[in-house]
């Protein structure tokens, strides 16, 4: 038992997801408000066993400063959330997954066949768990998904709310928090999570008033 716990700390939780290689586990369950979708796990994050594990990533600092994480911070009694908190966030309605589960040193290492293989897997998960919102980190993650999963999409999708949906799940895109994405500052990344919080609140209100029908479709 001790050996099993140690392996989980080192990121071997991948076996629970049934993947044939070491990767990050999907933190998914029914009833989630929000699922963050990355392009694919980085090798360092897989080694540490947590999403956005690099200290240079803007995700955890920006998420911690945003109103999107207020309820989580109050419940956990901390002002700063870290990568080690990722597995706890589903208890607060926030999950994590990726477009492609195969890890790599850089997203540029992914091939077209990677997306063709893994997009259907993500689509199945979104249909199965039906979160209110699926938020993609970066257009590089969103474009191949919407092209392969929905066979459609805006010719030039922009950040923010998307017109496509997966059943009751609305789609949203924020900047990639990777340090390699130098176009956005920490403050700008935080602002995008604030905007996402507002969008999520609106989706919750619409869900209470008029549930969206199942199946592929646009905004209701």
CA-to-CA distance for 68 and 47, rounded, in angstroms?
A: 27
- For the cut 60, the answer to whether the pLDDT of residue 8 exceeds it is no
pLDDT digits (tens, 9 = 90+) for 145-172: 999 998 876 667 899 999 999 999 999 9
Neighbours of 172 (CB within 10 A): 21
Q: Would you place residue 178 in the very low, low, confident or very high pLDDT band (cuts 50, 70, 90)?
A: confident
Q: Which residue pairs, CB below 8 angstroms and at least 24 apart, start in 206-211? A: 207/132, 207/168, 211/168
Q: Would you place residue 206 in the very low, low, confident or very high pLDDT band (cuts 50, 70, 90)?
A: low
- For the cut 80, the answer to whether the pLDDT of residue 193 exceeds it is yes
CA-to-CA distance for 19 and 7, rounded, in angstroms?
A: 16
- For the cut 80, the answer to whether the pLDDT of residue 116 exceeds it is yes
CA-to-CA distance for 177 and 190, rounded, in angstroms?
A: 10
pLDDT digits (tens, 9 = 90+) for 94-108: 999 999 999 999 888
| Tokens read off for 217 | 């479709």
- For the cut 80, the answer to whether the pLDDT of residue 16 exceeds it is no
Q: Is the pTM of this model over 0.75?
A: yes
- Give the per-residue pLDDT at 203: 87
Q: Looking at per-residue confidence, does 220 or 50 come out higher?
A: 50
- Give the per-residue pLDDT at 204: 76
- Give the per-residue pLDDT at 18: 76
- Give the per-residue pLDDT at 106: 87
- For the cut 70, the answer to whether the pLDDT of residue 29 exceeds it is yes
């Amino acid at each position: 038992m001790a050996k099993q716990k140690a392996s989980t700390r080192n990121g071997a939780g991948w076996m629970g997801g049934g993947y044939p290689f070491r990767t990050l586990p999907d933190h998914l369950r029914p009833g989630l408000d929000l699922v963050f979708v990355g392009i694919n796990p980085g090798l360092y994050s897989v080694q540490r066993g947590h999403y956005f594990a690099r200290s240079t990533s803007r995700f955890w600092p920006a998420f911690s400063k945003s109103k999107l994480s207020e309820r989580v911070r109050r419940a956990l009694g901390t002002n700063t959330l870290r990568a080690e908190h990722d597995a706890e966030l589903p208890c607060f309605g926030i999950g994590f997954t990726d477009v492609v589960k195969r890890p790599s040193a850089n997203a540029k290492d992914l091939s077209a066949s990677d997306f063709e293989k893994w997009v259907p897997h993500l689509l199945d998960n979104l249909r199965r768990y039906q979160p209110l919102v699926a938020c993609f980190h970066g257009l590089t993650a969103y474009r191949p998904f919407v092209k392969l999963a929905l066979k459609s999409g805006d010719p030039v999708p922009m950040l923010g709310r998307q017109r496509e949906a997966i059943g009751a799940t609305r789609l949203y895109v924020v900047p990639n928090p990777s340090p390699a994405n130098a176009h956005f500052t920490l403050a700008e990344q935080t602002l995008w999570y604030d905007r996402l919080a507002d969008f999520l609140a609106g989706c919750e209100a619409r869900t209470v008033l008029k549930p969206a029908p199942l199946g592929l479709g646009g905004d209701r």
